Amino acid sequence: MALDTADADAPRLRLDASAAVHPLLSDDGSTAAGETAEQLDARYAPYARRDAYGTMGRGPLPAAQAVRLALAAAVLLPLRFVAGMLVLLLYYLVCRACTLFVDADGGRPRLAGWRRKAVLRSGCALSRAMLFVFGFYWIRETRRRSPNAKGLNQDQFEESQRPGAIVSNHVSYVDILYHMSASFPSFVAKESVSRLPLIGLISNCLGCIFVQRESKSSEAKGVSGAVAERIQEVCQDKNTPMMLLFPEGTTTNGDYLLPFKTGAFLAGAPVQPVILKYPYRRFSPAWDSMDGARHVLLLLCQFINHMEVVRLPVYYPSQLEKEDPKLYANNVRKLIAMEGNLVLSNIGLAEKRVYHAALTGSSLPGARHEKDD
């Protein structure tokens, strides 16, 4: 584990309203502040791409690689798109059949017995099938029996209470597919997702927490409150799926670990730490700051993608950590960084938006869906 402290003290690029709508990289590759793309990458290291496609996935490609990409776009891309849609449609039909004549609690079907087993088992299998479609043919998984970190409450791993949430570093949208294939947890999504064709019913069967992040109502308990309430429900009811939470609140390039938000730790319940890594040769599956559509295209055009998973022992908080969610979050973060050989960084989502704007002159794609709670 290493601590990246340079970014905390370095002067930060500030954008005014007029600059935010124009690209800040000039013809010589520098910004309005005189910084090159390389200097920006160094400053905002957790979001910098270091694969063959370069900054924002728009770097120059050798002729041979450009031809390979064109062939993949013509042949592999349509095949994978059709296969992915068929997998999605099949799971929708399973969910539709299992929710017939089932009462719903706030739109969330209360599945039990064979219905719950069918949704769970088919969901895990079809999520793995989707990963296969995306080129993740083999996934290397490692389970750690005991933590390497010393002094982090060694006795807390001896308890047996069911964890209320899975906490994981966040590298790509592919993370969700892996966790669905392994544990089939629920997660937080925008309220509008529940009304989407196909996806809406599936997300309800997952038991997702739907929130209106744009709501400023003082009566709303907020994302953190809803998450804490659901985690407590998970600990009390074995039929309630665990929560999947990414405490960083946004994605990185996979080499760094950002500060953790406390939402996953407010309930004081045990958590299951999981570390995800994506080794690569040409294209990195990490969705750091690249445009979403371009990232999906390049991911589907890469014949083989790689993923490595490290599942740590369930982390049982001490009494002091239960009383102090920030301490709890920080200790779990340190453990994940140490076990995953990740660099701790102090920058967050605001800097990601600045970095993206400096490179493109536009706001970060999908920035509104990132969690600031």
DSSP for 325-366, written as a single string: HHHHHHHHHHHHHHHHTPEEE---HHHHHHHHHHHHSSPPTT
- Global pTM? 0.81
Percentage with pLDDT > 90 across the chain: 45
The pLDDT, as a whole number, for residue 32 is 46
Q: Assess contact for 142 and 311: CB atoms under 8 A.
A: yes
| Average confidence (pLDDT) over 36-50 | 81
Residue 192 DSSP class: G
| Average confidence (pLDDT) over 23-41 | 58
Residue 157: what residue type? Answer: F
Q: Assess contact for 268 and 145: CB atoms under 8 A.
A: no
Q: Name the pLDDT band for 304 (thresholds 50, 70, 90).
A: very high
Q: Assess contact for 239 and 112: CB atoms under 8 A.
A: yes
Most confident of 99-113, 184-198, 201-215: 184-198
Q: Which helix (H) or strand (E) holds 309?
A: strand 307-311
Asked whether residue 42 carries a pLDDT value surpassing 70, the answer given is: yes
The pLDDT, as a whole number, for residue 128 is 97
Strands 104-105 and 108-109: antiparallel
Distance, C-alpha 159 to centroid of its chain: 28
| Average confidence (pLDDT) over 313-317 | 94
Q: Of 20-29, 143-152, 345-354, which range is least confident?
A: 20-29
List the structure tokens of 347: 């920058």
Q: Is 293 exposed, middle or buried (0-12, 13-18, 19+ CB in 10 A)?
A: exposed
Asked whether residue 212 carries a pLDDT value surpassing 60, the answer given is: yes
Q: Is residue 291 classed as helix, strand or coil in its secondary structure?
A: coil
Please give, one letter per residue, the 3-state secondary structure of 132-191: HHCCCCCEEEEECCCCCCCCCCHHHHHCCCCCCEEEECCCCCHHHHHHHHHCCCECEEEH
Q: Of 237-241, 257-261, 282-286, 297-301, which range is least confident?
A: 237-241
Q: Of 8-22, 169-183, 252-266, which range is least confident?
A: 8-22
- Cα dist from 118 to 124, 126, 132, 185, whole Å: 10, 12, 21, 15
Q: Assess contact for 107 and 145: CB atoms under 8 A.
A: no
The pLDDT, as a whole number, for residue 165 is 93
Backbone angles phi, psi at 313, to 5 degrees: -60, 155
| Average confidence (pLDDT) over 16-23 | 34
Mean pLDDT of the chain: 81
Q: Assess contact for 244 and 205: CB atoms under 8 A.
A: no
Q: Assess contact for 179 and 141: CB atoms under 8 A.
A: no
Task: List Cβ neighbours of 280 (8 Å cut-off, separation of 6 or more).
Answer: 51, 305, 306
Q: Based on C-alpha coordinates, what's the Rg of the chain?
A: 21
Express each pLDDT in 356-365 by its tens digit. 777 776 555 5
**Euclidean distance between CA atoms 165 and 230, whole angstroms:** 9
Select the more confidently predicted residue: 333 or 104. 333
Strands 307-311 and 271-277: antiparallel
3-state helix, strand, coil in the chain (%, to 5): 45, 10, 45
Residue ranges per domain, the chain? 63-145+155-360
Strands 271-277 and 165-168: parallel
Q: Is residue 315 classed as helix, strand or coil in its secondary structure?
A: strand
Q: Is 112 exposed, middle or buried (0-12, 13-18, 19+ CB in 10 A)?
A: exposed
